[in-house]
């Protein structure tokens, strides 16, 4: 059997204990800005001109109005700060890096961080509950949770909104459809953050640059159009693949690959039991993330049906064994996309050339 399950668990939230502190922080925090965000590269519910405040944005948790340009931004997820750096915006506090990097920032985004003049404090965001007391201590005027550490409950949202406006993902994407958690496109998220921070023009410029990078690869590889692929891994004795909406699969789709051919990936990911591995049997390529636990490659290759997969027969398996590339591939920020393209495209070129004898090169950042 295979089962769908969420990537992150929502915990039972008991935040009443810090409500008084949160409300007190609301009065002491700067009131220069209040979160507002809009969708992505097209759909927008913001009012006013680019960079004009107040601005109202329709988010997944309701409309948010930002009265003035925010000056003290706190981010709650794994990549929002990298998006802000790309816009030249410096948050005052960001979560610690899940990979242990200084300033909560991967090496691919350090140049953007320095250019933005950012020197953020870092904090533990919590895996099931947001620590409102810690968040309030930074005196934010905007809290950004467009790619949150865990599913935000209404209770958490209400409490954090007592500290500062809370910007969650846009309600709808630029395609007009409702967004899904952890599946917003880079363009939609960056557009929303641009509206919220008065940097819409910069957001459009960055999006155009990233689009041009993807287009250059597609133009160089028209033979990739329609090739099927997926990003997956190994967890608790079973293979899994991510939903087509996952940011890593969005990356592959932007290269012209078809990531929608695996059924049942409506949730964040789809875990596949060994006897059902043929659900991914016809894919031209599978990108396997194995850097976090290097033993998982051998575990995957030992599955009885692994040798029968089309991706195995045609030499289409790509193994991400480098932790820096794995982190960049996950981040899906403007700087990480550039990093991933430079590192990852040569591997795809070998995997998708149709010759099983072609060895897919391993990638190593060299700085680990």
What is the chain's mean pLDDT, rounded? Answer: 86
Strand partners, 142: 73
* Each residue's pLDDT tens digit, 187-234: 999 999 999 999 999 999 999 999 999 999 999 999 999 999 999 999
Q: What is the mean pLDDT of residues 240-249?
A: 92
Regarding whether 241 and 113 lie in a shared domain, the answer is no
Phi, psi dihedrals of residue 58, rounded to the nearest 5°: -90, 110
Regarding whether 225 and 166 lie in a shared domain, the answer is no
Question: How many other C-beta atoms lie within 10 A of the C-beta of residue 293?
Answer: 12
Residue 283, pLDDT above cutoff 90: yes
Residue 74, pLDDT above cutoff 90: yes
Residue 30, pLDDT above cutoff 70: no
Regarding whether 334 and 195 lie in a shared domain, the answer is no
Residue 259, pLDDT above cutoff 80: yes
Nearest to 150 by CA among 129, 169, 164: 129
Among the residue ranges 91-105, 125-139, 181-195, 253-267, the one predicted with the least confidence is 253-267
Regarding whether 304 and 177 lie in a shared domain, the answer is no
Q: How many helices (H) and strands (E) does the chain have?
A: 12, 13
Report the residue count for the chain. 368
Contacts by 294-300, CB closer than 8 A, 24 or more apart: 294/321, 296/233, 296/234, 297/321, 299/234, 299/237, 300/234, 300/239
Regarding whether 29 and 51 lie in a shared domain, the answer is yes
Residue 127 confidence class, pLDDT cut points 50, 70, 90: confident
Residue 50, pLDDT above cutoff 70: no
Domain of 166: which CATH number? 3.40.50.1980
Question: How many other C-beta atoms lie within 10 A of the C-beta of residue 27?
Answer: 8
Residue 16 confidence class, pLDDT cut points 50, 70, 90: very low
- Count of domains forming the chain: 2
* Each residue's pLDDT tens digit, 86-108: 999 999 999 999 899 999 999 99
Residue 266: the pLDDT is 54
* Domain enclosing residue 55, as ranges: 15-211
Residues 106-121 as b/e (b if ≥16 CB within 10 A, e otherwise) read bbbbbebbeebebebe
Contacts of residue 351, Cβ cutoff 8 Å, sequence gap at least 6? 285, 315, 316, 317, 318, 358, 360
Residue 57: the pLDDT is 97
Residue appearing with tokens 């409490």:
159
Regarding whether 294 and 180 lie in a shared domain, the answer is no
Residue 10: the pLDDT is 28
Share of the chain above pLDDT 90, in %: 76
CA 113 to chain centre: 17
Give the span between the Cα atoms of 302 and 292, in whole angstroms: 18
Residue 14, pLDDT above cutoff 60: no
Q: Which two tokens stand for residue 321?
A: 């064994």
Residue 9: the pLDDT is 28
Residue 125 confidence class, pLDDT cut points 50, 70, 90: confident
Cβ(132)–Cβ(22) under 8 Å? yes
- Is the bond into 54 cis (omega within 30 degrees of 0)? yes
Residue appearing with tokens 């991400």:
320
Regarding whether 187 and 45 lie in a shared domain, the answer is yes
Residue 262, pLDDT above cutoff 60: yes
Residue 231: the pLDDT is 96
pTM: 0.85
Regarding whether 187 and 78 lie in a shared domain, the answer is yes
Regarding whether 332 and 227 lie in a shared domain, the answer is yes
Residue 368 confidence class, pLDDT cut points 50, 70, 90: low
**Do the bridges between strand 121-123 and strand 238-242 make them parallel or antiparallel, or are there none, so unpaired?**
unpaired
* Each residue's pLDDT tens digit, 299-331: 999 999 999 999 999 999 999 999 999 999 999
Cβ(132)–Cβ(160) under 8 Å? yes
Regarding whether 135 and 225 lie in a shared domain, the answer is no
From 211, 236, 251, give the residue that closes a domain: 211
């Amino acid at each position: 059997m295979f089962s769908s399950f969420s990537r992150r668990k929502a915990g039972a939230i008991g935040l009443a204990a810090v409500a008084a502190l949160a409300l007190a922080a609301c009065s002491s925090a700067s009131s220069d800005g209040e979160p507002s965000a809009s969708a992505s590269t097209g759909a927008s519910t913001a009012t006013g001109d680019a960079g004009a405040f107040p601005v109202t944005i329709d988010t997944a948790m309701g409309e948010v109005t930002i009265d003035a340009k925010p000056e003290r931004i706190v981010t709650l997820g794994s990549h929002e700060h990298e998006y802000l750096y790309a816009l030249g915006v410096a948050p005052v506090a960001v979560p610690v890096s899940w990979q242990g990097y200084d300033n909560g920032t991967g090496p691919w985004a350090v140049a953007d961080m320095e250019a933005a003049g950012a020197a953020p404090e870092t904090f533990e965001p919590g895996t099931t509950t947001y620590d409102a007391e810690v968040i309030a201590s930074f005196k934010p005027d905007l809290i950004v949770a467009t790619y949150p550490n865990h599913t935000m409950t209404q209770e958490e949202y209400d409490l954090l909104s007592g500290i500062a406006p809370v910007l969650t993902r846009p309600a709808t994407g630029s395609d007009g459809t409702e967004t899904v958690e952890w599946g917003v496109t880079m363009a939609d998220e960056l557009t929303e953050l641009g509206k919220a921070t008065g940097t819409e023009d910069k957001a459009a410029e960055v999006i155009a640059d990233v689009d041009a990078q993807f287009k250059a690869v597609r133009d160089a590889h028209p033979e990739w159009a329609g090739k099927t692929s997926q990003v997956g891994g190994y967890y608790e004795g079973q293979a899994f693949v991510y939903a087509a909406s996952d940011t890593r699969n969005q990356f592959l789709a932007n290269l012209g690959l078809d990531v929608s051919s695996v059924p049942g990936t409506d949730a964040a990911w789809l875990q596949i039991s060994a006897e059902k591995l043929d659900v991914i049997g016809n894919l031209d390529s599978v990108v396997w993330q194995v850097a976090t636990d290097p033993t998982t490659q051998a575990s995957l290759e030992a599955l009885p049906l692994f040798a029968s997969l089309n991706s195995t027969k045609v030499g289409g398996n790509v193994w991400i064994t480098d932790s820096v590339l794995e982190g960049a591939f996950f981040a899906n920020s403007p700087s990480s996309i550039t990093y991933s393209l430079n590192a990852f495209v040569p591997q795809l070129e070998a995997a998708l050339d149709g010759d099983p004898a072609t060895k897919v090169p391993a990638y190593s950042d060299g700085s680990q």
